[in-house]
Amino acid sequence: MDKQQKTLSLWMFGLLFISLTGAHGLNNFPENFVVAKTNENVILTCGSKADGAVTWKFRMFPSEEMEDVDSEDNIQQEGQNLKVSEVGTPVLGEYSCWRGEEKLSSTYLLLEDEEEEELDSLIRCRAKSYDCNFTCKWTRDGYTAVRLGLGHECSEGGKSCHWVSSSEQLQDGGFQFVLSHSLSPYAEESTMLELTAEAINDLSILRRTKRFYLRDIVQPDSPQIVKCQEVDQELNVTIDPPSTWSTPYSFFSLEHEIEYELKDDGQTGRSSSSALIPKKISKLRVRSRDSLVLSTWSQWTPWKNVRTGKKNLCKCKNTAKSCCPELPAGYLDKCKTKGKKKRKKTVGSRHLKKKM
Ligand SMILES: *[C@@H]1O[C@H](CO)[C@@H](O)[C@H](O)[C@H]1NC(C)=O
Ligand SMILES: *[C@@H]1O[C@H](CO)[C@@H](O)[C@H](O)[C@H]1NC(C)=O
């Protein structure tokens, strides 16, 4: 098989896979649905537009043909309504109500997922700051549609709940959400957030609510290492809060922790109380947390090499990789010319070789 054929067959396999899984799950929340427990009885109503005789049609998934509903033992039409008894897998799906050729309404009958799973094990939320947005990630696979809502209206299943759909489906099958809250970042936080999740797997639906304080999910982004200044035998490390952190910084105070590797023996050390650390180190990295509520620590920054002493300062061009003191303007230009000359020389000699 050549490369082109291989990619083509891979592609076709992918298409087949998508259409197969697509046929057996809902990728969106139906506009209308009714949730029933196993063996419960439910009554589906046609809606306000209905008067006179109506008929009901049924299909399990959107990809299937609709079939007329014949009254059976556990499905009975009563006037315009449809009564479904002893709900179980065979009767789940879309029921639509018709007057002749006109579709009046459609309702999905879904089964309540009664797994005793807590929302904590299904979803992870994180706020980069006390500002209005935070993100949540649905981590459990096997679900084809997930939505989240904040507030009492959503936990009560009210019609006016503002549901948030996933902003993207992640490669691992999870879903990512951006939620907005209206808590004031300056007020002492006394209100709990109430987060409700609904998730569809096949034709069953899971519904869970959890309550938490915003401060419990705060995790800042990594801070920025600005400079490393020699102060006698020590190094003064200047650290800036991450740009995504709440302002003013004097109010939303962060504490930083510095980790460093000693030049002599390669041992690592940490300092959290002071920005002054030993001078003879090869590299360092930093992380931050809210110092008031002792939030989760941020991720560490990448390691930065430490450049001190006059001899090393020419290596300060790449400040993303190196932590350097503040240098006088034009200092690095001197280093640049040196580098250029060297490069010219080597190019020159290579040309020479070719000619020979
Ligand atoms: C909050 O999220 C919305 C939607 O993703 C975005 O448009 C907005 O800029 C965000 N606001 C802040 C303060 O990050
Ligand atoms: C360390 O650097 C900061 C910021 O540049 C400065 O405000 C502070 O005084 C310095 N500390 C010492 C001990 O030099």
Question: Which one of the ligands is nearest to 326 CA?
Answer: 2
User: Does residue 312 register a pLDDT over 70?
Assistant: yes
Tell how far the Cα of 236 is from the centroid of ligand 2, in angstroms.
6
User: Does residue 136 register a pLDDT over 60?
Assistant: yes
User: Does residue 53 register a pLDDT over 50?
Assistant: yes
What local confidence, expressed as pLDDT, does residue 337 receive?
59
Q: How far apart (Å, rounded) are the C-alpha atoms in residues 316 and 304? A: 11
User: Does residue 118 register a pLDDT over 70?
Assistant: yes
Q: Which of 12-16, 26-30, 172-176 has the highest mean pLDDT?
A: 26-30
Tell how far the Cα of 133 is from the centroid of ligand 1, in angstroms.
6
Output the residue whose Cα is nearest ligand 2's atom 10: 236
Q: Where are the domains of the chain?
A: 18-106, 119-217, 224-331
Residue 160, classified by CB atoms within 10 Å of its CB into exposed (0-12), middle (13-18) or buried (19+), is exposed
Distance, C-alpha 257 to centroid of its chain: 26
What local confidence, expressed as pLDDT, does residue 9 receive?
56
pLDDT tens digit sequence for 195-216 = 999 999 889 999 999 999 999 9
- Asked if residue 236 has its Cβ within 6 Å of ligand 2, the reply is yes
pTM for the full predicted model: 0.76
Question: Which one of the ligands is nearest to 237 CA?
Answer: 2
What local confidence, expressed as pLDDT, does residue 353 receive?
44
287, 294, 244, 284: which is closest to 261 by C-alpha? 284
Q: What does each C-alpha distance from 167 to 136, 201, 336 come to in angstroms?
A: 10, 19, 46
Tell me how long the chain is. Answer: 356
- Asked if residue 231 has its Cβ within 6 Å of ligand 2, the reply is yes
* Assigned CATH for 119-217: 2.60.40.10
pLDDT tens digit sequence for 317-340 = 888 889 988 888 878 887 765 545
Mutate to test the pocket of ligand 1, among 129, 133, 164, 166 (most ligand atoms within 8 A of CB): 133
Share of the chain above pLDDT 90, in %: 43
Tell how far the Cα of 134 is from the centroid of ligand 1, in angstroms.
9
What local confidence, expressed as pLDDT, does residue 15 receive?
44
pLDDT tens digit sequence for 280-310 = 999 999 999 999 999 999 999 999 999 887 7
Question: Which one of the ligands is nearest to 233 CA?
Answer: 2
Token readout for 279 is 């001078």
Question: Which one of the ligands is nearest to 131 CA?
Answer: 1
Question: Which one of the ligands is nearest to 227 CA?
Answer: 2
* Assigned CATH for 18-106: 2.60.40
What local confidence, expressed as pLDDT, does residue 216 receive?
92
What local confidence, expressed as pLDDT, does residue 350 receive?
46
Q: How far apart (Å, rounded) are the C-alpha atoms in residues 10 and 12? A: 5
User: Does residue 20 register a pLDDT over 50?
Assistant: no
What local confidence, expressed as pLDDT, does residue 18 receive?
43
Tell how far the Cα of 275 is from the centroid of ligand 2, in angstroms.
8
89 or 353: which leads in pLDDT = 89
93, 78, 80, 76: which is closest to 36 by C-alpha? 93
Q: Which atom of ligand 2 is nearest to the CA of 236?
A: 1
Tell how far the Cα of 129 is from the centroid of ligand 1, in angstroms.
12
119, 73, 64: which is closest to 96 by C-alpha? 64
User: Does residue 148 register a pLDDT over 80?
Assistant: yes
Q: Of the ranges 54-58, 220-224, 309-313, 339-343, which one carries the lowest mean pLDDT score?
A: 339-343
The answer to whether domain 18-106 and domain 224-331 are alike in fold is yes
- Mean confidence (pLDDT) of the chain: 83
pLDDT tens digit sequence for 69-103 = 887 778 888 888 899 988 888 889 999 999 888 88
344 or 109: which leads in pLDDT = 109
Output the residue whose Cα is nearest ligand 2's atom 7: 238
- Asked if residue 139 has its Cβ within 6 Å of ligand 2, the reply is no
Q: 226-264 b/e with 16+ CB inside 10 Å = b?
A: ebbbeeeeebbbebbbbeebbeeeeebebebbbbbbeee
The pLDDT confidence band at residue 28, using thresholds 50, 70 and 90, is confident
What local confidence, expressed as pLDDT, does residue 355 receive?
42
- Asked if residue 132 has its Cβ within 6 Å of ligand 2, the reply is no
What local confidence, expressed as pLDDT, does residue 239 receive?
94
Mutate to test the pocket of ligand 2, among 227, 232, 238, 258 (most ligand atoms within 8 A of CB): 238
What local confidence, expressed as pLDDT, does residue 254 receive?
94
Average pLDDT over residues 94-120: 88
110 phi and psi angles, rounded to 5 deg: -120, 155
User: Does residue 177 register a pLDDT over 60?
Assistant: yes
Share of the chain above pLDDT 70, in %: 86
45 or 173: which leads in pLDDT = 45
Average pLDDT over residues 239-245: 95
Q: Which atom of ligand 1 is nearest to the CA of 132?
A: 13
Is domain 224-331 classified as CATH 2.60.40.10? yes
